[in-house]
Amino acid sequence: MRKALLIIDVQKSSVKDEGFINKIEQLQQNYAIVFVSRFVNENSPLLRFKVFKGYEDTELAFKPVFHAHVFDKNIYSSYIKEMQNFDEIHLCGADTDACVYKTAMDLMEHNIRPIVLTEYCISENENYHKMGLELLKRNIGTENLK
């Protein structure tokens, strides 16, 4: 079975919690294949339609492992075609209720099992995080939340 880790949008302007950042840095050491997405504001439909104010920067809040595949995106989903040959992708990062949620749904629709690592996910506030987890339970199943 081919599996990978996907770290979503853990950027300096989006995540300030040092403890969380340290957990992300340690987590990536457990995976042979790591994808890392960065949200960029340029040409983003989310900013165009004013549903998201964007991030102040694209600088990551953590140091990716040397073999990580770092890529930019300007939409909610972090799914990219390079993930299509994987059976399972473990997800973490920001925001549980938006980018993590949308990516998990997209992975499932591409026949890839999404495993959301709940203690490695964060949102703008705790209520959004909890709502995101509830929607994930409903839409991808509680067995895919770890």
Measure CA 106 to chain center: 12
Is residue 127 scored above 80 in pLDDT? Answer: yes
Average pLDDT, the chain: 94
Contact 35, 71 (CB under 8 A): yes
pTM for the structure as a whole: 0.95
Is residue 55 scored above 90 in pLDDT? Answer: no
CA distance 52 to 18: 24
Is residue 42 scored above 90 in pLDDT? Answer: no
Strand-pair partners of 114: 89
Single-letter amino acid, residue 66: F
Structurally, what CATH architecture does the domain formed by 3-144 represent? Answer: 3-Layer(aba) Sandwich (3.40)
**Domain spans of the chain?**
3-144
